[in-house]
């Protein structure tokens, strides 16, 4: 009886912890019924590796973080170790949407500025697809930043966690997130971009959508959780492949993060 009580207490405690963190979960039948829970970024030496820039391919997605107030706020608000998403164009160039608008610049500048830069790859991107992405991304240089979209996304990220409570079936969770997004993000514009919206729109315009969800719904954290072995909050057409870390010097908020 005492052993059964202890077991029940452990189950209740685990359930309470998951409820408080409200991370997306998925059941799996591997080695019995278990829950897969969203995990933070892979660290070099703990399932990850440091790579050089020449390991990148056009179309790779770079997720980053930096020790600034804005980055800290985004990471804290999205419960994530990343705060920015960037599209690698090839030839040492990137394109990104920042507060001043869409811009293209050298990859080396990004790596120098950020404290962590981790690369992911969308399987099946060929030279023609990467070329279409590059052409569209460069055509958007100078486009305005989607400030309204970011402001609307902040409460959406928090509210949608109700859809991601433990043991909620994935179909129900997806329907809940989609419905909430259409209500809360409907006023956001799709001709202005914040960082992850810009990356997903580039893939969409190239005919290689990463997700069927509206790019305005997706944060850098969502892209991180679309990787292989993780539990996505917003479903991807296929999991992203981890390529490696171009830089790993995590800000204080990341210091306690595990793999």
**Catalytic residue ranges:** 195, 245
Q: Which regions of 93-178 does DSSP assign to beta strands (E)?
A: 93-98, 101-106, 116-121
Annotate 234-248 with DSSP letters as a single string: S--SSPBEEEEEEEE
At residue 206, the 3 state secondary structure works out as coil
Nearest to 181 by CA among 211, 160, 151: 160
Q: How far apart are CA 231 and CA 169, in angstroms?
A: 12
**Alpha carbon distance, N-terminus to C-terminus of the chain:** 37
């Amino acid at each position: 009886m005492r052993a059964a009580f202890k077991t029940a207490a452990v189950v209740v405690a685990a359930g309470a912890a998951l409820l408080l963190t409200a991370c997306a979960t998925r059941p799996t039948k591997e080695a019995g019924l278990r829950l897969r829970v969203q995990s933070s970024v892979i660290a070099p030496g703990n399932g990850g590796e440091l790579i050089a820039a020449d390991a990148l391919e056009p179309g790779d997605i770079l997720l980053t973080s930096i020790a600034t107030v804005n980055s800290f706020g985004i990471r804290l608000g999205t419960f994530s170790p990343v705060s920015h998403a960037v599209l690698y164009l090839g030839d040492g160039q990137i394109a990104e949407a920042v507060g001043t608008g869409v811009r293209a610049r050298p990859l080396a500048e990004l790596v120098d500025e950020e404290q962590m830069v981790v690369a992911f790859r969308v399987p099946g991107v060929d030279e023609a697809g990467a070329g279409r992405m590059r052409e569209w991304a460069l055509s958007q240089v100078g486009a305005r930043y989607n400030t309204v979209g970011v402001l609307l996304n902040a409460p959406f990220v928090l509210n949608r966690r109700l859809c991601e409570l433990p043991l909620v079936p994935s179909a129900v969770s997806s329907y809940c997130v989609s419905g909430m997004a259409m209500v809360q993000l409907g006023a956001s514009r799709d001709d202005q971009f914040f960082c992850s919206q810009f990356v997903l729109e580039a893939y969409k315009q190239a005919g290689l959508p990463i997700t069927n969800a509206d790019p305005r719904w997706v944060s850098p954290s969502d892209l991180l959780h679309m990787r292989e072995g993780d539990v996505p909050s917003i479903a991807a057409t296929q999991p992203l492949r981890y390529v490696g870390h171009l830089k790993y010097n995590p800000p204080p908020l990341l210091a306690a993060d595990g793999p």
